[in-house]
Structure 1
Amino acid sequence: MKSKTALTSLLAASVMAFGFSQGALAQNTVKIGSVLSVTGPSSFLGEPEDKTLKLYVDKINAAGGVAGKKIELVIYDDGGDANKARTFATRLIEDDEVIAMVGGTTTGSTMAMIPVFEEAQVPFISLAGAIEVIDPVRKFVFKTPHTDKMACEKIFEDLKKRNLTKIGLISGTDGFGASMRAQCVKVAPNYGMEIIVDENYGPRDSDMTAQLTKIKNTAGVQAVVNPGFGQGPAIVTRNYAQLGMTNIPFYQSHGVASKSFIDLAGAAAEGVRLPAAALLVGDKLPESDPQKKVVTEYKQAYEGATKQPVSTFGGHAYDGLFILVEAMKRANSTDPKKIRDEIEKTKGFVGTGGIVNMSPTDHLGLDLSAFRMLEIKGGDWNLIASGS
């Protein structure tokens, strides 16, 4: 009987000790959530985001964490499905009890998750491109990539320099493609652009020669712009070359700012122009460029760890994570509301996408100077010289 009592006491003590250790562990960690499209049709975006977050959370934790707390990263893969994304967002809030979220690979998944984080009053830093993510401004929602509206403006700025004003559009019907098309139509008059033919294609389409033939046969087209992301723009680019349209200047969006686009499009990508982050041309930036150190170090770290080419999409995740970490340090708190306030106060943050200056009316914090106009030459990204 005595031994049984002793055993009971020992078990109770062990349970108590385990409880205390778990409590101590919980007190010394902080959970950050992420929902990414690691697999599926948007995996070329989500995979580098996933690898970037894991790489840098490990680095942060190895260096002591944030304000003495280690980060516990909770990642779910939505496979590009917006309904799954919303389910995982709810799980992050209700089950995982995260204090903030860095994720949302696509515009569709981001828009599906926004109500969850807004209602929970937990800061959400999206990695999606469309302007509708942060316009209108929502209190707890921020984003790191340049907007589709900015991409249209940068492209039209370049076209204006080249005295090309009559435009053909061919857009993806996905969330990003449709949003960017709408933005291009909206801002075109501001740059003296006239959209004289407007075609589109579905996310599963495997041939766009019919739409491109219509554009080719439209009299007066001086340049073509392709809002879209994923494999669609690569197919459009190959079809463009097959139809012998390479004498007409061709522009893509920052939705293809990955080496995988060049690989998919092959030789047809030669001469394509697009606006993108400085990250893709870090080695070509002058030493005086304030982003050179950041983008060069990120490129070296990412490529060294993954043995894969760097992409702007992983860079968006890097920026989102460190905007959050810096805000947590300033807040000196794990309170989501205090962290939200500090994210909104972000000033002079030098990231891979540009220099970020947020405000209560701007939850992106980038202007057109953050975009670089690039041209694909020799299978690589090249900076376009001013005025060329």
Structure 2
Amino acid sequence: MNTLTRATAAGTALAALLALTACSSKAKDDDGGGESAGGVKTGVGVTGRTIDLGVLTDMTGVYATLGKSVTQAQQLYVDQANADGGICGRKLKLTVRDHGYDPQKAVAVYTELEPKVLGFAQFIGSPFVAAVKQRVARNKGLVLPQAWSANLLGSPYVRVVGSTYDLETINAIDFLMKEKGLKKGDKLGHVYFEGDYGESALKGSKHMAAESGLTVVEQKIKPTDNDMTAQVSALKKAGVKAVVISAGPRQAASLVGVAAAGRFDVPVIGNNSAFAPQLLATQSGPALTKNYYVASPTLPIGADTPAAKKLVADYEKAHPADSLDNGVVAGWTAASVFGEALKKACADKDLTREGVDKALLTIDDFDAGFGVPQDFTDPKAPSSKESVILQPDKKATGGMRVVRKPSTAEAAESFSPSGD
């Protein structure tokens, strides 16, 4: 938390500097706020020709694989939208910055781009989004984060796409209890990142434990902790019967691999960002296909839907050297949601930040083609409470197959995520 506080202070100082030095030399077709041709109101990030959206991603840190897939999928959406004439007579543009999952850099690049873009189609990292949430509330530029902390709820300008980590964890444990032998009276291990992501997920496991008569054995880790030997040893000694991991792909692979090597044969389930199909080619691959599961806010990239099949074909054509994963789905879905809000704002003749925020509030049943409708009418709630349970599978497109279709646990239905 101290690091994020320092980062926020540094970001605030940089914002002041940028405010003093930023020039107003916009393109001739950008009135900086007013009406353009056709009577459409415009503002920050919108000219008569372009709509500029920011992307704050991780290309070099703990979520580098996810960040690359999300960003490439969003660029694919932009390229296809522009090939079809754009939105509201304007071409979409992504301005991308890599923060490397570093808190100071994440806040600094947000500060750099915020005065220049309409909003953000991507912002990876719950702690970093939380660090600028109050500033987002002031400037009103819509943020669709690739982050699912319940602490991000409550703002009409930061909108979580899919179920939050606490709800997702409740759904994950429901799967363990109904299909993997976990029962009342058992101990459940939970390995989690310190900070918003892990602690949001932990609230879900504690709620489910209280509802179902489980005992949670906690193991808190840092994003820089890659060897889970100590955590596995502690959980094995405690006698846990299943494990939830709310961390990154590297930590999940280490935990499952170490557990297998130590003959600690219990099911492990991760939150949606705790897997990458590239792991199946590592020495942990066999253990992952046997004992590992992932809770996801949507069907996987290999889903048997027309939209999924088209996205697979289009993505493979655009990036033939890159593997498919669920980051492609997350990126495409967020870009599609932002695009839908832009279309509605255009119809209302208001492409200002306020107009786009208002347009999103009217979207109550949007599905980008991956099986889970999204409802954005209530800023205090995630857009969905459903989760899909997936299992790693080398033969499946994208390395994941569905073992439980979209559903919401009874305990999740009655649970209110802790937004402000």
TM-score (norm. length: structure 1): 0.83
What's the % identity of the aligned pairs?
Answer: 19
Which amino acid counterpart does residue 259 of structure 1 have in structure 2? P
Q: Give 1:362 shift.
A: 4.4
Please say if 1:214 is aligned against 2:234: yes
- Match of residue 306, structure 2, among 270, 293, 297: 293
Match of 2:340 in 1: 326
For the residue of structure 1 that corresponds to 2:189, the secondary structure is strand
Q: Give 1:197 shift.
A: 2.4
Which amino acid counterpart does residue 250 of structure 1 have in structure 2? V
Structure 1 residues 74 and 206: CA distance shift in structure 2, 3 A: closer
Please say if 1:316 is aligned against 2:330: yes
1:228-247 matches, cutoff 5 A? 228-246=247-265
Structure 1 residues 378 and 57: CA distance shift in structure 2, 3 A: closer
Contact 2:375 2:383 in 1 (8 A): yes
Structure 1 residues 196 and 86: CA distance shift in structure 2, 3 A: closer
Please say if 1:339 is aligned against 2:356: yes
1:27-38 matches, cutoff 5 A? 27-38=48-59
Query: CA–CA distance in 2 between the matches of 1:122 and 1:374?
Result: 34
Q: Give 1:372 shift.
A: 1.6
Query: CA–CA distance in 1 between the matches of 2:287 and 2:111?
Result: 43
Deviations 1:190-238 (A, max 9, x none): 2x0412522233322242222212221224x322222212411111111
Match of 2:383 in 1: 365
- Structure 2: gaps (5+ residues): 1-25, 37-45, 408-420
Structure 1 residues 196 and 363: CA distance shift in structure 2, 3 A: closer
Which amino acid counterpart does residue 309 of structure 2 have in structure 1? T
Match of 2:15 in 1: none
Higher helix content, 1 or 2: 1
Query: CA–CA distance in 1 between the matches of 2:164 and 2:27?
Result: 47
Match of 1:13 in 2: none
Please say if 1:140 is aligned against 2:161: no
Q: Give 1:174 shift.
A: 5.2
Query: CA–CA distance in 2 between the matches of 1:88 and 1:235?
Result: 31
Contact 1:146 1:366 in 2 (8 A): yes
Structure 1 residues 159 and 87: CA distance shift in structure 2, 3 A: same
Deviations 1:273-315 (A, max 9, x none): 22225442634x4xxxxxx222222222222211222222232
- Structure 1: gaps (5+ residues): 1-17, 286-291
Which has the higher Rg, Structure 1 or Structure 2?
1
Which amino acid counterpart does residue 60 of structure 2 have in structure 1? T
1:163-182 matches, cutoff 5 A? 163-165=181-183, 166=186, 167-173=188-194, 175-182=196-203
Q: Give 1:356 shift.
A: 0.7
Which structure is higher in RCO with an 8 Å CA cutoff and minimum separation 6?
A: 2
For the residue of structure 2 that corresponds to 1:144, the secondary structure is coil
Which amino acid counterpart does residue 351 of structure 2 have in structure 1? T
Which amino acid counterpart does residue 144 of structure 1 have in structure 2? V
Q: Give 1:244 shift.
A: 0.7
Q: Give 1:57 shift.
A: 0.9
Contact 1:45 1:105 in 2 (8 A): no
Query: CA–CA distance in 1 between the matches of 2:174 and 2:319?
Result: 36
Which amino acid counterpart does residue 366 of structure 1 have in structure 2? S
Of 334-343 and 74-83, deviating more is 74-83
Q: Give 1:354 shift.
A: 2.0
Contact 1:85 1:113 in 2 (8 A): no
Aligned residues: 354
